[in-house]
Structure 1
Amino acid sequence: MSLDDRKDPSALGRESSWSGVRAVVTGLGASGYAAADTLQHLGADVIVVDHAIPEGRQREQATLLEILGVDVRMGPDAGVTFGDVDLVVTSPGWPPSNPLLVDAAAHGVPVWGEVELAWRLRGPDAAPWLAVTGTNGKTTTVQMLDAILKAEGLRSDAVGNVGRPVLEAVMDPEPYDVLAVELSSYQLHWSSSISCQASVVLNVEPDHLDWHGDEAAYAAAKGRIYENTQVACVYNVQDEVTEQLVMDADVVEGCRAIGFTLAMPGPSMIGMVEDVIADRAFVADRHTSAAELGTLADLERDGVPAAPHVVADALAAAALARAHGVSQRAVREGLRGFRLDAHRMAFVTESDGIRWIDDSKATNVSAARAALRSTENVVWVAGGLAKGASYDDLVLDVRERLRGVVLIGRDRGLIAEALRRHAPDVPVIEVDNGETDLMDAVARTAASLAREGDTVLLAPAAASMDQFRSYAHRGEAFAAAARRLTRT
């Protein structure tokens, strides 16, 4: 088949016939399954390629796709010939350097992500997207946003990199009023035509450099969320990179730059006036007045004040919701009723004046920094897979807070070396990987270092898969061990 004989998928929508379109979907995760199922439903000839052998639910999904007529190719040698392929829809886990994707580009085959496909399949009265990205805080922010939208009485959902694939929500027969969309840098890399009603980059710290290649490419991928934004590009006043990304973006005429800040807000910002969340962006006279959207007390949980990074997430969520026209009342009610996800600064137990906190979701340096900054007198539990991270700046930033450190995981030595260089007086104990009751040993060791008034904080600054199935499994093991030790 020549290039001239190929179908042009960019000209097709949800009401079009996709008959004759030959589409390849890479990866059989949640987004890959959604893409394959949708394309087959629209009439395309679909091939799914995954180099892993599926197990459990993915095996069931592969079987279902095969029953529907999808060509499912699994295993290390699975591949495809690109001579007559019209479109590739790739999953977030597949980097641009993957040979299959490189081959697709060499043959002039368009490569979309599942999110890009979802945008192109929106109906004429489709729900607007309020989109969130950033190195840290994406899930918290998008779930806060969804809670605010629901408090306004809107049919919304938190979708994308959290929960339900965007494509499933877009194709839902019962339309949404608005979608709160979490987007990773992976998803944004493969997106080109998305035009959100409002968008935010919460922060940018070095991460996923093995996938993107370098910091500039990673930041540029994050910045794609601002392209074609219609109403408001929300940025972090404390993170100059996010403001620059707004300045560099090509947006819809009339779109505004809206800052969020933990300090006193200026005009066109949402921030804090003492303990009040103050809106000076979406009010009639933003130069002389402000609207109260809530207070810090609305963010307290179990008598524990919200950490600064959680407050910042709330400000960003409020800004996106206000860009959609949500009332002050709904912002306050949504934030007041919101509960953080498991393993995100989750209170575990308190015994003998020592608090135990699970922030296993802090899988990178910047997330761990935010957790440690929110706590004084910390016994820090850290370590795992470093993913190329450096820990010197983190240790320099938090060393005054450290009562002691307990290290686990394959790359724990990197953190230990940074501590020896920059915090030599802080006690550091490494728990060997061979411990059969790893987290019980961690809990005992942490308790031996802690004093009354201290916090034992699991904030690993590293991924979990060297010793655990996931960050959730790691957090559950930590919490269970803490409760066994304290008998609570």
Structure 2
Amino acid sequence: MTAPSDRLDTLTSWRADWTRLRVAVLGLGATGFSVADTLAELGADVLVVAESAPEEYARLVPVIGARLDESPLDVVPASLADFAPEVVVASPGFPPAHPIIEWVRGQGIALWGDIELAWRLRDKVVRDDGSPADWVFVTGTNGKTTTTRLAATMLVEGGLRAAPCGNIGVPILDAIRDPAGFDVLVVELSSHQLWYLGLDDGPGAPVPHSAVCLNLADDHLAWHGSAEAYRDAKAVVYRHARVACVYNKADAQTMRMVEEADVTEGARAVGFDLGVPGPSELGVVDGILADRAFVENRRTSAAELATVEELRGRGLAMPHVVANILAAAALARAAGVEPAAVRRALQSFELDPHRMQLVAESGGVAWIDDSKATNPHAAIASLTAFPRAVWILGGLFKGIDIAHIVRERGGEVTAAIAIGVDRDPVRAAFARHAPHVPLYEVDDAQTEDVMARAVELAARAVGAGGVVLLAPAAASFDQFASYGERGDRFQEAVRERIERGSTDDSGGASPEAV
């Protein structure tokens, strides 16, 4: 009989024999269902274990030929233990300290994420030459989605069949099964997915064409257990990269990741930042985005990709967005995309909703929705772009210290409005580091009232020519289903106030809870 580990080593192709392999799938969101659906199609014996499951997915599990057990997951369900899985594929929401993950590892059962499974199955649809699509990896504390979308847009403009997938919302297993096929998949990776990917460096370990870690700041520490563990997970993005390891010159930690990475022989380190680029770097010279990495003579020449003035006309000139553009351009150029195609891509690119989105300008006030700024590092980028704004912040800080952002940027804002359940840290940070800034609070209002009250306070505090900036620096789950709903509520409240024609009254509020 073939030992389970030996069999797993052979499962590196869609055409391998996956039949009757006992696989337990943890979680039944979009990722979990894509895993179960894929494995069922391959003939594996699939048990899905989830604490709760959306009705649309729960109804489909038996249809695809899998089984579902909805049970509390604070202990190992009997169904899982009795199933004796050969492999467990966990959705990225399960942290390392989860009791089921600890049980799986203690039992010596193979533990995969969806990315490893997809890499093993990447040859389902191949290119004309018979090879599967190249993969490009994107991670970082902030800017992942924007950079992933930018890179995919540049690749398509350069004539390649490319698509963004992974943590961006399209499960990678759906992407590899798309019958149209792709030349390149641009895979956004969360630190959670990378932690799972780092568990095994065997046959299932991906070999990306190129990779980037955009930046690193404390985030998801409760999930990972420490800042060091979070950093180590992010560093997995560069493992085995074979063409380009793109790093942020302004973030020394990303450079160290590249220096320490076990890459494929011949992979190049390519730096980017907003300064003048040296050889093998991308940067900005006299308002021109310049590439000195992918040109014939990078010591004496550079390729022009775009100008800051052009980006300003597209609403893309904020410093952190320019940095994302340079990172994406490095990935696209590494894949052979010409500078002219990079420029064309930027002429049509739109930022994601809730990322530095101008909601309205009325009564001399600009209302900016950056609800996607779910951690302090992202909020600092927002405040750098709009330093004199009325700042709406707060929510769930996930164990992150808010004090340093107030120390760095809080003293510049016109006023601050605290929302969410974690208002005590905000209050303490402003009292210590920016006591001169008026601090308003929205008390524990219902979800439908939070943003209406915050917008009312902001309208009173802002002056003509001012900016109101929603950049929470916190997760949204205390009062909203997602950062998207939080941003939508903000936008609705802004528009309702403008429709009432009352955006020009200002300065009438005192810093107290409402």
* Cα contact 2:387–2:409 (8 A) shared by 1: no
Paired letter, 2:222: D
Give yes or no for the alignment of 1:101 onto 2:79.
no
2:166 equivalent in structure 1: 160
1:407 equivalent in structure 2: 418
2:507 equivalent in structure 1: none
2:133 equivalent in structure 1: 127
1:62 equivalent in structure 2: 58
Q: Deviations over 1:126-181 (max 9, x none)?
A: 11011100000000000011111111122111100012111111122221011111
Picking from 123, 148, 151, the partner of 2:157 is 151
Paired letter, 2:403: D
**Helix, strand or coil: the match of 1:81?**
helix
Question: 19-28 or 226-235, which moves further after superposition?
Answer: 19-28
**Helix, strand or coil: the match of 1:145?**
helix
Give the number of equivalent residue pairs: 482
Distance change (3 Å), C-alpha of 1:97 and 1:8: farther
* Cα contact 1:6–1:84 (8 A) shared by 2: no
| Residues in 1 aligned to 2:297 and 2:122: alpha-carbon distance in whole angstroms | 36
Give yes or no for the alignment of 1:81 onto 2:81.
yes
Question: 122-131 or 470-479, which moves further after superposition?
Answer: 122-131
1:467 CA displacement:
1.1
2:368 equivalent in structure 1: 357
Picking from 203, 219, 227, the partner of 1:207 is 219
1:376 CA displacement:
2.9
| Residues in 1 aligned to 2:313 and 2:494: alpha-carbon distance in whole angstroms | 20
Question: 355-364 or 9-18, which moves further after superposition?
Answer: 9-18
1:424 equivalent in structure 2: 435
Normalised to the residue count of structure 1, the TM-score between the two structures is: 0.96
2:409 equivalent in structure 1: 398
* Cα contact 2:279–2:298 (8 A) shared by 1: yes
1:34 equivalent in structure 2: 34
Q: Deviations over 1:407-465 (max 9, x none)?
A: 11100221121011000000001011136632121111111111122110000011111
Distance change (3 Å), C-alpha of 1:250 and 1:146: same
Q: Deviations over 1:327-352 (max 9, x none)?
A: 11111111221100100000011122
1:299 equivalent in structure 2: 311
Q: Deviations over 1:373-419 (max 9, x none)?
A: 11131100001111011111101111342100011110022112101
* Cα contact 1:375–1:455 (8 A) shared by 2: yes
| Residues in 2 aligned to 1:272 and 1:257: alpha-carbon distance in whole angstroms | 18
Any residues of structure 2 matched to 1:474-485 within 5 Å, and which? 474-485=486-497
Percent of aligned positions with the same letter in both sequences?
46
Normalised to the residue count of structure 2, the TM-score between the two structures is: 0.91
Structure 1: 5+ residue runs without aligned partners? none
**Helix, strand or coil: the match of 2:257?**
helix
Paired letter, 1:143: R
Distance change (3 Å), C-alpha of 1:11 and 1:298: farther
1:305 CA displacement:
5.5
Any residues of structure 2 matched to 1:63-462 within 5 Å, and which? 63-76=59-72, 78=77, 79-81=79-81, 84-123=84-123, 125-191=131-197, 192=201, 193-301=205-313, 304=315, 306-434=317-445, 437-462=449-474
Distance change (3 Å), C-alpha of 1:38 and 1:66: same
**Helix, strand or coil: the match of 1:406?**
strand
1:48 equivalent in structure 2: 48
2:509 equivalent in structure 1: none
Distance change (3 Å), C-alpha of 1:305 and 1:452: farther
Structure 2: 5+ residue runs without aligned partners? 124-129, 502-514
| Residues in 2 aligned to 1:7 and 1:32: alpha-carbon distance in whole angstroms | 25
Paired letter, 1:479: Q
* Cα contact 1:376–1:454 (8 A) shared by 2: no
Paired letter, 1:200: V
Question: 220-229 or 398-407, which moves further after superposition?
Answer: 398-407
**Helix, strand or coil: the match of 1:25?**
strand
Distance change (3 Å), C-alpha of 1:66 and 1:223: same
| Residues in 2 aligned to 1:341 and 1:39: alpha-carbon distance in whole angstroms | 32
Distance change (3 Å), C-alpha of 1:3 and 1:393: farther
* Cα contact 1:382–1:412 (8 A) shared by 2: no
* Cα contact 2:4–2:86 (8 A) shared by 1: no
* Cα contact 1:258–1:319 (8 A) shared by 2: yes
* Cα contact 2:139–2:214 (8 A) shared by 1: yes
1:84 CA displacement:
3.3
**Helix, strand or coil: the match of 1:356?**
strand
| Residues in 1 aligned to 2:23 and 2:137: alpha-carbon distance in whole angstroms | 27
| Residues in 1 aligned to 2:402 and 2:59: alpha-carbon distance in whole angstroms | 44
**Helix, strand or coil: the match of 2:414?**
strand
* Cα contact 2:373–2:473 (8 A) shared by 1: yes
| Residues in 2 aligned to 1:405 and 1:266: alpha-carbon distance in whole angstroms | 40
